[in-house]
Amino acid sequence: MGRKLKYKRVLLKLTGELFGENGGKGINFASYESIASQLINIWKKTQVDLAIVVGGGNIFRGRERSIQVDQATADYMGMLATVINGMALQEALERLGAPTRMMTAFEIKSVAEPYIRRRAIRHMEKGRIVIFTAGTGSPFFTTDSGAALRAIEINCDVILKASGVDGVYSSDPNKDAKAKMYKNLTYQEALEKHLDVMDATAFALCQKHKMPIIVFNIKNLGKLDKILKGEKIGTLVS
């Protein structure tokens, strides 16, 4: 089946809170299964080359330390949390019939392949869904930075960032009833308006390499095929 897609190779960024219980904390296996089921439907329908970066905020967020814990140690703990989410998502995807490979930014050979760029690209060429975990493998960088880096390395057409709101707003729509949603933004506009698209490092990478970002509501995950075909859902930063 021909793929009449605007975006043929994509990186999907999933925040860890999507896998948690109420409030986005802990582990909810039903959430992994629900997301996996929707992704498989889209993947089968479109034959898109799909890579996924998962966060770990439902388990541990290195930036949130109640006492003065060493930042590098906390960040490594956060990276390990993303591996747990990656394993659970991989299990759900494979149980539901999708071939996958999980790759880690530092070696944990018992559970995943270490990240090698050419191998990741080859997995996608063979029709496997690739899950990237452990961020960049270095402390002081977020999973947003990991997503931007991997998307550029494996020649993706776009980064799709799933969030809890419909797109990028002028202010927090959960707190400000007058918050305005943007349909399109340039990188410069997003920077000048101090909009929460990605962290500064990730955003700088995307801007330098002209990697477009689409921010959309996770509730629209089932409409991902429409986004892949170029339909305007969410906010496009380019």
| CATH number for position 163 | 3.40.1160.10
In a 3-state reduction of DSSP, which class is residue 201? helix
pLDDT at residue number 196: 77
pLDDT at residue number 171: 85
By DSSP bridging, strand 113-114 and strand 100-104 are parallel
What is the extent of the structural domain holding 155?
9-237
89 in any annotated domain:
yes
pLDDT band at 2 (very low <50, low <70, confident <90, very high): very low
3 in any annotated domain:
no
pLDDT at residue number 64: 65
pLDDT exceeding 70 applies to what percent of the chain? 97
225 in any annotated domain:
yes
Decide which of 22 and 226 is more confident: 226
Check if the beta carbon of residue 96 is closer than 8 Å to that of residue 36. Answer: yes
Measured in Å, how far apart are the chain's first and last C-alpha atoms?
Answer: 29
Q: Tally the domains of the chain.
A: 1
Least confident of 70-79, 108-117, 197-206: 197-206
How far apart are the C-alpha atoms of 48 and 85, rounded to whole Å?
22
205 in any annotated domain:
yes
Per-residue pLDDT tens over the stretch 16-67: 999 998 878 999 999 999 999 999 999 999 999 999 999 998 998 766 666 7
pLDDT exceeding 90 applies to what percent of the chain? 74
pLDDT at residue number 68: 81
Tell me the C-alpha to C-alpha distance, in Å, between residue 29 and each of 13, 32, 73, 86, 100.
19, 5, 27, 12, 18
2 in any annotated domain:
no
Whether residue 227 has pLDDT greater than 70: yes
pLDDT at residue number 236: 94
Tell me the C-alpha to C-alpha distance, in Å, between residue 236 and each of 24, 43, 81, 196.
26, 21, 29, 13
80 in any annotated domain:
yes
Least confident of 48-57, 68-77, 88-97: 68-77
Maximal CA-CA distance, the chain:
55
Identify the residue whose tokens are 């960088």: 141
The whole-chain average pLDDT of the chain stands at 92
Whether residue 96 has pLDDT greater than 80: yes
Whether residue 115 has pLDDT greater than 50: yes
Decide which of 3 and 29 is more confident: 29
Closest by Cα among 170, 166, 169, 150 to 158 = 150
Average pLDDT of 188-199?
A: 84
In a 3-state reduction of DSSP, which class is residue 132? strand
How far apart are the C-alpha atoms of 185 and 234, rounded to whole Å?
11
How far apart are the C-alpha atoms of 214 and 224, rounded to whole Å?
11
4 in any annotated domain:
no
How far apart are the C-alpha atoms of 137 and 30, rounded to whole Å?
28
119 in any annotated domain:
yes
